[in-house]
Chain A
């Protein structure tokens, strides 16, 4: 199953210029497509467009076509689309239902709304909580957790929905390194199960670990795309406002000082 964007452009309601232009992109089963780019290059907008929230929920004008397994989704209402494509927002405070009194209820909220049988909801909820190592928080009030803990709860809620396609907008922005690793592992496990995932990230180290391919946006257009390693090693990343990977930066600085070589390479592995 594939989500395909064909010459997609998008302009926010009231904006004078489009925020996305000429986007062609395929998101195939089991693939993790990483999206990077400078601030305001269109990453969040792309996430909103692929998930259908733009324009269905927030208005604005869309051009081009979005296809789900070759079917044009143009006239699909939001509820039909959201059964197929899940989205995780950058700010977990936006994501939380605000109606659940405990973390467990919060994570169960999504699958319950998909009318999934009770036992399966419970099963999926525990599974998601354990995958992100937040099962100990299950009885806590989600509104009283730290920002990073809330972000893990939001991701757990998405895991429990078991979408076919998943869009994640900077899912680790507020996470510590351990939380980041848990989310990375969860993304990899979902992809191994055949879920296709679009993930926007500033953390190129994370993309290096999980992405099948990487797309770099610049001013709403795709400026570069390709296999993860090739794109993340490209020297043009700097002018596109994308941070080098930690290993790439270390290699470059060492080589400039003439102290690189095989020994450093071995230590980087």
Chain B
């Protein structure tokens, strides 16, 4: 399984003097579920595009299992790190769903048997089984986005990078993305996802990395990054913790980044002693 290292990574786009990344250090172990959050333009997409060689550092380096990614070709990197773009139309090109999903694994030399299995699993995970012959452009925007995910899932890369996987997805689509993330990490593979959906981030990821102006300003588990002690830094990036975290703090329940953790905290802390009905108390205060 693959470890990722990012060391003092900086990137300046040629067309401007904007430092999109300004000295990022990260170490990501195999099997981690990492969410990357930050304001629009904070460098999230720029960072992940370095992981599979779509962008090369202006300075600093990216290490894939201790090998400098600069010494790997894009083709070699493609077998290690799969990247799903934010906009599926930048990715999709084949004439049928099946051809689209088969392209990646075939291109990196997977055997026929592996390929068949990987394609089937990917289509099942994204709810596209049965649509094999459909032209991708006959699918709606949200299913095209799931197709882009399927085509990278089928490559079974040790690292999977998702750029805003839940945008445009309805409730079922978000659930599908979440299950796909779990299935990949259950196999010891790594998922790194960019997202603006803080509830999804808090519930589906073990680690949250916050970028501001091309630098990492917070890095930790959801209960730390969304905990009251971190709110000032979060606010400086124009991000807000999920509603459950805010409500938990108002109620003095500690750091409760998810609905489940808030409900559990309320349950343990408001368990009424015999004969004392907290409901009455509430009504008096109300």
Q: Which of A's residues lie within 8 Å of B, judged by CB? A: 37-40, 44, 90-91, 93, 140-141, 144-149, 151-152, 170, 173-180, 202, 238, 241-244, 246-247, 249-250, 253-254, 257-259, 261-264, 266-268
Contact = CB atoms under 8 A, between A and B. Distances in A.
Contact of A263 (B41, B143, B251, B262): B251
B263 interface: yes
Interface residues of B, number: 49
A262 B283 contact: yes
B278 A261 contact: yes
A144 B247 contact: no
Contacts, number: 134
B266 A38 contact: no
Contacts of A267: 247, 250-251
Given A147-B86, A177-B238, A264-B251, A38 B40 contact: no
B41 A149 contact: yes
B196 A39 contact: no
Nearest to B283: A262
B286 A262 contact: yes
Contact of B259 (A37, A39, A149, A253): A253
B86 A174 contact: yes
Interface in B233-261: 238-240, 242-244, 247, 250-251, 259-260
A179 B142 CA distance: 21
Interface string B199-230: 10000000000000000000000000000000
Given A40-B143, A178-B238, A264-B251, 7 more contacts: A147-B40, A148-B41, A253-B259, A254-B262, A254-B266, A257-B263, A263-B270
A49 B280 CA distance: 53
Nearest to A177: B240
Interface in B256-281: 259-260, 262-263, 266-267, 270, 278-279
Given A38-B172, A241-B171, A141 B15 contact: yes
B89 A91 contact: yes
Interface stretch (B64-72, B115-123, B162-170, B178-186): B162-170
B140 A140 contact: no
Contact of B39 (A145, A178, A249): A178
Contact of B141 (A44, A147, A148, A263): A44
A6 to B, nearest CB: 26
Contacts of A175: 40, 196
Contact of B170 (A179, A202, A253, A254): A202
Contacts of B86: 147, 174
Contacts of B41: 145-146, 148-149
B278 A242 contact: no
Contacts of A147: 40, 45, 86-87, 164
B57 interface: no
B38 to A, nearest CB: 7
